[in-house]
């Protein structure tokens, strides 16, 4: 039976190429690649869409323009109909946080993932990539009677504004529309840094903390101090120990960025990176603190004799006494762990505290300083 013309047209292949930085690519390929192809096939009844995903290191901190020529060559060489690039670096141009850019004469666009925030990121990435790919295809397809260019997920979002540029190689730029854009960007940067991995990067620090804790746990002076301090001062000690650890890591490994004072854009970017660094390290150290506390509490329950503890404290022992001892010991040992973090190499700290693209950016800055 012969195929109808609609079925024949449906078999015409189209390819959306996604060029992303390595860690971004792995996540996108695993969770979103197939779904984007499905969304495109639902929107387009005339073509059979597939999604090709490749990884490549590229410098996107200054937007799409500086790397457009090389991206055009890559798209032609790869035989992609449209191309969307993904970066986990924040982009700041003309005083605005850039969410996405679209080239004027080429079906190529760039999306900055941190600007999409940290909540529902998979859905936002899928929608942005599929909508940009479909909108660019409609604009470049002579058989399509598309009107105004407008990817729905970007064009209709109340958090995003559209800027149509009059000159230059960029046709459209999507920027954060509200004052909450900075907070959303910082949340996206934190997610890109994956601060929970810091737990595995501070091996020497945790080893020093555990060794210190093993000694402190069997010292009756720690028991008495924990009983005397009470919850408010123990909480203050916790804040002090976590702050000391974060401060020590930043200063020991030169993670604080000092921009040129005469450049407002560099000052803004440096403030973003510094705030992101402090929060990333704080989250990682807090997770380390909680895990260390649980380990110390378990050790205290099994190693400290109730009768000896009651004799030392001179009152009946309750579960809260063990919690206070573990609390006090964890805070004290984390300060010892801060000293142990000095034995970690800077590469290990960068690998644990930042995403791959941010590590490369920091490593490339060092020779220039």
Residues 6 or more apart in contact with residue 22 via CB below 8 angstroms: 55, 57, 356
Q: Of 186, 204, 224, which one is at a domain's C-terminal end?
A: 186
**What is the reported pTM?**
0.75
Quick check: 69 pLDDT over 80?
A: yes
Output the six-digit token pair for 198. Answer: 């810091």
The number of distinct structural domains making up the chain is 2
Same domain, 147 and 222: no
Residue span of the structural domain in which 150 resides: 5-186
Same domain, 179 and 218: no
Q: Of 167, 186, 205, which one is at a domain's C-terminal end?
A: 186
Q: Return d(Cα 294, Cα 45) in angstroms, integer.
A: 56
Rg (CA), the chain: 27
Quick check: 356 pLDDT over 70?
A: no
Q: Return d(Cα 134, Cα 156) in angstroms, integer.
A: 15
What would the mean pLDDT of 352-364 be, rounded to a whole number? 55
What pLDDT score does 145 carry?
A: 55
Quick check: 121 pLDDT over 90?
A: no
**Which range is most confident: 190-194, 212-216, 265-269, 290-294?**
290-294
Residues 6 or more apart in contact with residue 338 via CB below 8 angstroms: 205, 241, 244, 245, 248, 249
Cβ(352)–Cβ(249) below 8 Å? no
Greatest distance between any 2 Cα atoms in the chain = 94
Same domain, 115 and 264: no
Model confidence at 262, pLDDT cuts 50, 70, 90, reads low
């Amino acid at each position: 039976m012969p195929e109808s013309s609609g079925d024949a047209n449906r078999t015409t292949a189209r390819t959306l190429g996604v060029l992303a930085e390595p860690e971004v690519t792995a996540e996108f390929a695993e969770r979103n690649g197939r779904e984007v192809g499905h969304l495109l096939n639902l929107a387009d009844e005339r073509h059979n869409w597939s999604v090709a995903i490749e990884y490549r290191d590229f410098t996107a901190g200054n937007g799409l323009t500086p790397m457009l020529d090389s991206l055009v060559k890559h798209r032609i060489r790869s035989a992609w109909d449209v191309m969307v690039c993904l970066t986990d670096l924040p982009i700041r141009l003309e005083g605005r946080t850039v969410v996405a850019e679209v080239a004027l004469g080429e079906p190529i666009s760039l999306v900055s993932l941190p600007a999409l925030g940290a909540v529902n990121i998979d859905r936002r990435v899928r929608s942005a990539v599929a909508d940009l790919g479909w909108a660019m295809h409609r604009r470049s397809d002579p058989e399509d009677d598309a009107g105004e260019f407008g990817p729905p997920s970007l064009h209709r979002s109340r958090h995003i504004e559209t800027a149509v540029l009059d000159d230059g190689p960029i046709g459209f730029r999507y920027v954060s529309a509200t004052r909450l854009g900075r907070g959303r960007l910082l949340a996206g940067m934190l997610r890109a840094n994956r601060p929970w991995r810091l737990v595995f990067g501070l091996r020497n620090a945790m080893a020093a903390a555990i060794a210190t804790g093993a000694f402190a746990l069997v010292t009756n002076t720690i028991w008495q101090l924990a009983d005397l301090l009470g919850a408010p001062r123990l909480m203050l000690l916790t804040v002090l120990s976590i702050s000391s650890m974060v401060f020590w890591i930043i200063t020991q490994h030169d993670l604080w960025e000092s921009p040129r004072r005469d450049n407002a854009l560099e000052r803004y970017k440096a403030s973003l990176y510094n705030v992101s660094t402090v929060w990333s390290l704080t989250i990682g150290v807090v997770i380390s603190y909680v895990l260390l506390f649980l380990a110390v509490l378990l050790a205290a329950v099994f190693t400290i004799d109730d009768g000896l503890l009651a004799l030392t404290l001179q009152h009946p022992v309750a579960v809260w006494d063990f919690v206070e001892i573990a609390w006090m010991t964890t805070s004290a040992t984390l300060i010892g762990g801060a000293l142990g973090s000095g034995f970690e190499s800077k590469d290990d700290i960068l690998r644990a505290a930042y995403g791959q693209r941010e590590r490369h950016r920091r490593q490339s800055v060092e020779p220039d300083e």
